[in-house]
Structure 1
Amino acid sequence: MMWSLFLILLYSWLFRCVNPEVPQVIDYLNGFHLDCYECHSNRPGCGKKLNWLLMRWKRCDMPGGAKCVKIIERTPDGETNYIRGCLREIEATRPEMPTVRENGCWTATDNYVGLGYNIYIPTTETIYCFCNERDGCLIVIKFSLLLL
């Protein structure tokens, strides 16, 4: 029994050296972290719909619990940008983020947008979606915007 646990941990550690984006057995023994997609919509596969086959996960950890973030913003020329990543890295570059960071989607002024269909959002508002339920959790949010 002890040898089998040792071999599982050893294999998990060795595999981690090869591919750190894949959660390993040892992760569940060391405590949980969250794997989030990290990309910008200027990359193929990282638009409104995320192509999870083209995107890599990034390990996220943060005191008090990690969260994945998806930002939906409109540029002055009318283009919609999607940015995905870990809360820790994104909040360092975006001081205007909402103070409310519960699971769901919020504007920078802390207005709850929700996760429903056909949500009307003014075109100037940037939307911040947060989640921490499971790895890659923002891929399944069914969210559509009616934009002017």
Structure 2
Amino acid sequence: MKLLLILSVLQLAFIEINAIYCYRCTSTQPGCATPFNWHWRFWGDHCPADDDICVKIIERKDATEVITRECLSTIKSFRTDIPADLYEGCRPAAKDVRLAHYVNNTIKELDIRRDHYDSTTFCFCFLDHRCNDGVTNQVSIVTMSITLFLCFVYWL
């Protein structure tokens, strides 16, 4: 009976993590601009969703370029110009025809119609470098210590 208890606790010690690593930064941060320097951004972060996609958003206005690198699940809640095709590659932003209807706004800096930038491009990746997903096992420290304690008590 004690052996069965120890084996079931040992089984709970391993937690399965399905995650994709993506760089999460904007071009205003050091190393995230066009000559991308990954030394500044460490190794990337886990995306919140299991079936996530890494996104690079390039927004251009004349000579100014703003690059945002993020997970798709993070930007879905506030970006309405995400293209419908989310497969690998770069696509222009979708035009949201319902955006800013019934709004009479005279403050042009608010950019409620999202027409400040001349061109917006979305690049999706989930197969390239730092876009790789995989299954890794992570050991829970608390569960492992309880298991070792039970093993120690069992053999005494």
Give the aligned partner of residue 120 of structure 1. Answer: none
Pairs within 5 Å for 1:1-148:
30-56=16-42, 57-62=44-49, 65-75=51-61, 78-109=63-94, 124-133=118-127, 136-137=130-131
1:136 Cα shift? 1.8
Task: Give deviations 1:2-53, integer Å, cap 9, x for gaps.
Answer: xxxx7xxx7xxxxxxxxxxxxxxx6xx6142101000000111001122111
Letter in 2 for 1:55: R
Bigger fraction of residues in strand:
2
Matched pairs, number: 102
Amino acid at match of 1:58: D
Identity in percent: 32
Rg bigger for which structure?
A: 2
TM-score when scaled to structure 2?
Answer: 0.55
Q: Which runs of 4+ in 1 moved over 4 A?
A: none
CA contact (8 A) 1:34 1:135 kept: no
Segments of 5+ residues of structure 2 without an aligned counterpart are 1-9, 96-116, 133-156
Larger RCO, structures 1/2 (Cα 8 Å, 6+ apart): 2
> What secondary structure, in the 3-state scheme, does the structure 2 residue paired with 1:89 have?
helix
- The separation in 1 between residues aligned to 2:30 and 2:86, in whole angstroms, is 28
Alignment gaps of 5+ in structure 1: 1-5, 11-25, 111-122, 139-148
Taking only aligned residues, the RMSD between alpha carbons, in angstroms, comes to 3.0
- The Cα of 1:97 is off from its aligned counterpart by 1.0
